[in-house]
Structure 1
């Protein structure tokens, strides 16, 4: 990074940027219109909590930052997935996440700095809302104010989780004793509090869980239509995300406790019976391009022609529009568990003898919704925790439900169902098939303390990365190192 850029950043904090985004979102879309912010007029921070419309605009501002290109606008998925073995690069283009594929990020990498600043912008927008609205609940009423604060806490939790799982050592390595991230929980409106030491990984996880518990308590059971149930957090969204967090800690009992809230049955069909009636869709193809607002979508980030990303910032451009990464034939693509007639193979596009991912296939404009969490993932999280806890019949039923909706011939033998390790291997492969391209491969490798695998074709290769290597996790960004003397 150039010295002039660092000097500029020393004078202006990401917190100021966060406040700017929050203020300029105040007259954005109404809640009934989903998350499609339009250009707006800035409003002084002295009166941002004066009207219901401005408060709702602040909530929209959190989501707007959260769905930034480097976070849940899509690129975060690539940061995670390219660390695994499923994709091979064609272009080796640093602007389209090659450094993640090659495990060669440095503190000056654009991806590293953009991811960090985008997530902390969302976090600070959440802090502004939480802190300010606590004293102005009368403007919108107690119930709505608490719901808004719950949304902010949910988004803050997911943002911190997204950071700590790439910039911090895995929780399972030492029960979270390693240094984590600066835990910023107050609204920052200037640069005075830039200096903040890192909290431990376990302290970050404790805050994430506290925020999710608080969110579950005050989030609404549901909204007025399917669009809002997909694009706004509700109680089942918080419960679902907690299964992911506890999975990262190997806290199987806690995964089971949360999962049963939205998966109360022990045999298919599985479906939530309270709040949003979350369930699998009969056909996975429906979820990607046909209907973005199904009951399987516990939370997705929406895009429209007025706020879509373009070119190298768009996940659909990298995977499908420009075809920069193809499926590694030696990865899950070639595994016999993923049969040729499985409908999930219809989410691939053959070209030049290679297979490319087309889960995100809308191009120019790139208006695919980006799934933050789906019901299918919850079933697989539940299955893994059940198997680890000795509930093997339940685990088998859960993983079969996910696989059989795309491949009716799938079966698990009696011997496999009775073998914990065999069943866990099936679940692990199922995650790689079902969640391909949705940002889980790096996450799964790190939480299991497995090395990042080598991958190669005839033109390019990258070696494996052991758990003890410095580049097993992402380096801290120069922007933080330059502005935070206590990091």
Structure 2
């Protein structure tokens, strides 16, 4: 295996180490701005601690590319729902996702697939390489492998939730994705049949379990606690994954690890002391590294996406989508006194999302998961399990942060169906623009809603329709003869 890893890696290694400095997720503060290595032999890639760390940083950097968690994956998921209306018909800014009209040749489809699998392979290279080196201490190697497994799990989750049938349709029996777990340095192993959706989720959860055991409790700074995976990152992501596959008992089990209380205020008691911030405005633009932000993609003036790749450009600067007045914006549940309305910028009769409000360079951090989502995941699972008092307390905590006068009525708190509907509305307000809406619809096997205005409309897509999920990319169809 060591020979496999070292052969033909020069292109990947050069990319990974030039320059990972400004991806603010290095192990130490001094590592944020190192002098980049610009020449390295593929024969000694795992031979120094610095080079190994550079490879780990490279996985994060790959995840932060435009088509993944740099922002576009969030955009694809959000505009599939009913809360954004398209203005420009611009295929470069996810119109085909909004319109549910992707083809196998779409750039979005092929770029998302290729970048996610490139991230997965970067993780595989690190995992296999560290299993064959003694250059760094065993505990350090284990933690690095934990990071690689978490990022691999997140990449597979990003793919399976859009390219495969929802797990809840048939308990994961549908065809899923090629499950690539080996470090590939050439094209000889391109041919690989799909694993089932269940098998993909089994691997995702195994990776997250392994990561939780191997990762540190925390890091030395708030910056690293936000941009580098730790134990609570793995646990938080497990609440999302288990909710997606409908395993309510496991959502409750995982959430209780970092939300040990049954009444507000809620806060993690192990590792990073995650908790809601008093003012949600701080989380977006005030301080990106509060304890509410469990995992985010960092941006700096010299290391940020630009133009049509940046969420701030798409939503606010170029105003390609506005918040649907007939969607969550027009629902009475989102009260006029709710401070989250400050995330809306009026322009005439339209309101545009300003969660990503920094102008070019677009240096707003991109959230992957926040403590608020964990509370809402927990609330939904608790309600499904009949723990209505706990569910009520959790959702009230999230809403009251932005509207102190909010109270759930007994008619809602005492009725499972009503409470689940309230939690669903709360998710659409709290997590607006954070890439959750598409998956929330699919995991519940709900239709993708019709939406539009007098200029542009798109019809409802039923859960049985072919375009309910993304089509397979031409790049995979052309190179993988077993992918069918």
TM-score over 0.5 (shorter chain): yes
2:239 maps to 243
1:115 and 2:112 are equivalent in the alignment: yes
Contact 1:37 1:307 in 2 (8 A): no
For 1:295, what is the secondary structure of its paired residue?
A: coil
State the alpha-carbon separation in 1 of the partners of residues 326 and 195 from structure 2. 39
Residue correspondence of structure 1 range 395-434 to structure 2 within 5 A: 395-434=391-430
Which of 478, 481, 485 lines up with 2:481 in the alignment?
Answer: 485
Which of 274, 277, 282 lines up with 2:278 in the alignment?
Answer: 282
RMSD: 1.7
Task: Pick closer, same or farther for the CA change 1:98–1:17 going to 2, 3 Å.
Answer: farther
1:192 and 2:171 are equivalent in the alignment: no
Deviations 1:333-353 (A, max 9, x none): 001110011000001100121
2:75 maps to 78
Q: CA deviation at 1:306?
A: 1.4
Which of 58, 61, 71 lines up with 2:55 in the alignment?
Answer: 58
2:44 maps to 47
2:350 maps to 354
Deviations 1:81-132 (A, max 9, x none): 1111100111110011100000000011010011011111110000000000
Residue correspondence of structure 1 range 52-451 to structure 2 within 5 A: 52-136=49-133, 138-451=134-447
Deviations 1:185-209 (A, max 9, x none): 0100011111111110000000000
State the alpha-carbon separation in 1 of the partners of residues 86 and 225 from structure 2. 36
In the comparison of the two structures, how many residue pairs are matched?
Answer: 473
Contact 2:69 2:368 in 1 (8 A): yes
Unaligned runs of 5+ in 1: 1-14
State the alpha-carbon separation in 2 of the partners of residues 280 and 381 from structure 1. 14
Task: Pick closer, same or farther for the CA change 1:50–1:16 going to 2, 3 Å.
Answer: closer
1:32 maps to 28
Contact 1:183 1:198 in 2 (8 A): yes
Task: Pick closer, same or farther for the CA change 1:384–1:28 going to 2, 3 Å.
Answer: closer
Unaligned runs of 5+ in 2: 1-8
State the alpha-carbon separation in 1 of the partners of residues 57 and 246 from structure 2. 34
Give the alignment's TM-score, normalised by structure 1. Answer: 0.95
Task: Pick closer, same or farther for the CA change 1:449–1:42 going to 2, 3 Å.
Answer: farther
Which of 13, 16, 22 lines up with 1:22 in the alignment?
Answer: 16
Q: CA deviation at 1:25?
A: 5.3
State the alpha-carbon separation in 2 of the partners of residues 240 and 208 from structure 1. 13
Task: Pick closer, same or farther for the CA change 1:28–1:91 going to 2, 3 Å.
Answer: closer
Give the alignment's TM-score, normalised by structure 2. Answer: 0.95
State the alpha-carbon separation in 1 of the partners of residues 20 and 392 from structure 2. 48
For 2:295, what is the secondary structure of its paired residue?
A: strand
State the alpha-carbon separation in 2 of the partners of residues 23 and 308 from structure 1. 17
Task: Pick closer, same or farther for the CA change 1:447–1:145 going to 2, 3 Å.
Answer: same
Contact 2:13 2:55 in 1 (8 A): no
